[in-house]
């Protein structure tokens, strides 16, 4: 099973700042089969990125994903008030699919 480790656990930033979230896999994720989700309190996760770098439908271009192999990054170029939430990565390169433990982006 591929273990995904997200860092940092919490990111304290101000609106307008750039957020860089890391997702590291315990072994290589084949073909960059990695997704990112945003989750707000009391809501279901929302797909942001799939295939490591493809934005899902309706996702603003301030969200971008990059990486391959074992190291992946989600970047939010300029944080807006609506972006403060928990972010999860998920791999679907090998079964069982697994999620990272999440990074909380909070208002500084």
Partner 1 sequence: QLQLQESGPGLVKPSETLSLTCTVSGGSIISSSYYWGWIRQPPGKGLEWIGSIYYSGSTYYNPSLKSRVTISVDTSKNHFSLKLSSVTAADTAVYYCARLWRSGSGSPGINWFDPWGQGTLVTVSS
Which residue ranges make up the site for partner 1 (CB under 8 A)?
29-31, 33, 35, 37, 43-47, 50-51, 56, 88, 90, 92-102
User: Residues 7, 83, 76, 6: what is their CA dihedral angle, to the nearest 10 degrees?
Assistant: 10
Q: For partner 1, which is the closer residue by CB, 19 or 90?
A: 90
Q: For partner 1, which is the closer residue by CB, 17 or 93?
A: 93
Q: For partner 1, which is the closer residue by CB, 14 or 95?
A: 95
Rounded to the nearest whole angstrom, what is the least distance from the CB of residue 16 to partner 1 in the complex? 28
105: CB partners within 8 A, 6+ apart: 10, 11, 13, 19, 21, 76, 79, 83, 84, 85, 86, 87
Rounded to the nearest whole angstrom, what is the least distance from the CB of residue 3 to partner 1 in the complex? 12
Residues forming beta bridges with residue 19, ordered by sequence position: 76
């Amino acid at each position: 099973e591929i273990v995904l480790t997200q860092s940092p656990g919490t990111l304290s930033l101000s609106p307008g700042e750039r957020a860089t979230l890391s997702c590291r896999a315990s072994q290589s994720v084949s073909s960059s089969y990695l997704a990112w989700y945003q989750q707000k309190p009391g809501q279901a996760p929302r797909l942001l990125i799939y295939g490591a770098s493809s934005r899902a439908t309706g996702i603003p271009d301030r969200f971008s994903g990059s990486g391959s192999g074992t190291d992946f990054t989600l970047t939010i170029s300029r944080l807006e008030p609506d972006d403060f939430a928990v972010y999860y990565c998920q791999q679907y390169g090998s079964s069982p699919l697994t999620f990272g433990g999440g990074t909380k982006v909070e208002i500084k």
